[in-house]
């Protein structure tokens, strides 16, 4: 019996509109003995719907697009009773999770990696029960990842996020919150917070690879408290410029779970896409719950 592969493609992601690289990837899958079914997404959330409806009938699922397409595909897979392994061909303008995994941005090379991979079980997060693959964040710069128009992302790539992040500074404000870990509680005002399982956050902040293990059941928690004086602000700016998230003015922890309570349900982003907030958010790490082909 032929092996089956569901190939989900977001035709709007990334800078190129040429379909030739996708044909090369599909041809490779066929050469490796897979019966390939291609589905193109047409609107936000479509990849999740496709996987929920059809994913259980396939031996493999591969998605091509940006982090948002990957997030939607993961959400669909996590709803299945027997989730098949997932492959990812990064095709967006900024692909944080692909960078963490050192995945090739060349579709044919990525397809070769997928078919030669024995599979590796990676952690998945949940945000009040909703699955995400690599980051949930709030505050400064998080709006940049979903408010920059897709056309601008396609044309400018990483620069689009930088420009949108700078514009976000004009409305920078602290967010009051109580952040509870297993053995610590941080109660205060924060400019930024992220619960992440990647070396890159929003295409802007970089974590050292030694700090991030994708299958250890732990997230990396990054909190930036609101500076209360000029010295704290100076230390914070220095840490951000040097991308040093272990210095003073920044809270950095490895945690299996985080609870965030706030008097207002401020917005979050999940894998770079808008996620509605709530007064109480529970984030959990589901250790090694997804088989990834990499």
The residues carrying an active-site annotation are 273
Q: How far is Cα 82 from Cα 176, in angstroms, rounded to an integer?
A: 40
Torsion sign across C-alpha atoms 250, 191, 196, 106: negative
Q: Which of 117, 125, 154 is nearest to 217 (CA)?
A: 125
Phi, psi of 137 (to 5 degrees): -145, 160
Q: What are the beta bridge partners of residue 281? A: 260
Q: How far is Cα 216 from Cα 200, in angstroms, rounded to an integer?
A: 18
In degrees, rounded to 5, the angle at the alpha carbon of residue 58 between the alpha carbons of residues 55 and 62 is: 75
* Phi and psi based region of residue 229 (left: phi greater than 0; alpha: psi -120 to 50; beta: remaining): beta
Q: How far is Cα 195 from Cα 172, in angstroms, rounded to an integer?
A: 20
Please state the separation of Cα 188 from the chain's center in Å.
26
Q: What is the CA radius of gyration of the chain?
A: 19
């Amino acid at each position: 019996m032929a092996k089956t592969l569901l190939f989900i493609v977001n035709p709007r992601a990334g800078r190129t509109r040429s379909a030739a690289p996708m044909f090369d990837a599909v041809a490779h899958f066929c050469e490796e003995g897979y019966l390939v079914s291609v589905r193109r997404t047409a609107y936000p959330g479509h990849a999740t719907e496709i996987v929920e409806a059809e994913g259980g009938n396939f031996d493999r699922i591969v998605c091509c697009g940006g982090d948002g397409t990957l997030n939607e595909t993961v959400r669909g897979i996590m709803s299945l009773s027997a989730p098949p392994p997932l492959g990812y061909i990064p095709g967006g303008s900024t692909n944080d999770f692909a960078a963490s995994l050192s995945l090739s941005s060349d579709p044919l090379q990525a397809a070769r990696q997928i078919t030669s991979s024995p599979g590796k079980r990676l952690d998945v997060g949940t945000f009040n029960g909703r699955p995400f693959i690599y980051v949930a964040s709030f505050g400064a710069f998080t709006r940049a990842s979903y408010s920059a128009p897709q056309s601008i992302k396609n044309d400018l790539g990483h620069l689009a996020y930088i420009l949108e992040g700078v514009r976000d500074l004009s409305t920078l404000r602290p967010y009051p919150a109580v952040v509870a870990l297993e053995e610590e509680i941080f109660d205060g005002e924060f400019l930024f917070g992220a619960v992440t399982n990647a070396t890159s956050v929003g295409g802007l902040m970089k974590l050292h690879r030694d700090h991030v293990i994708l299958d250890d059941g732990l997230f990396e928690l990054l909190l930036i408290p609101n500076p209360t004086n000029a010295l704290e602000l100076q230390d914070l700016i220095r840490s951000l410029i040097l991308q040093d998230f272990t210095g003073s003015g920044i809270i950095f922890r490895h945690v299996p779970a985080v609870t965030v309570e706030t008097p207002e349900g401020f917005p979050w982003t999940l894998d770079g896409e808008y996620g509605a907030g709530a007064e109480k958010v529970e984030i959990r790490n589901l250790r090694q719950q997804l088989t990834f082909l990499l």
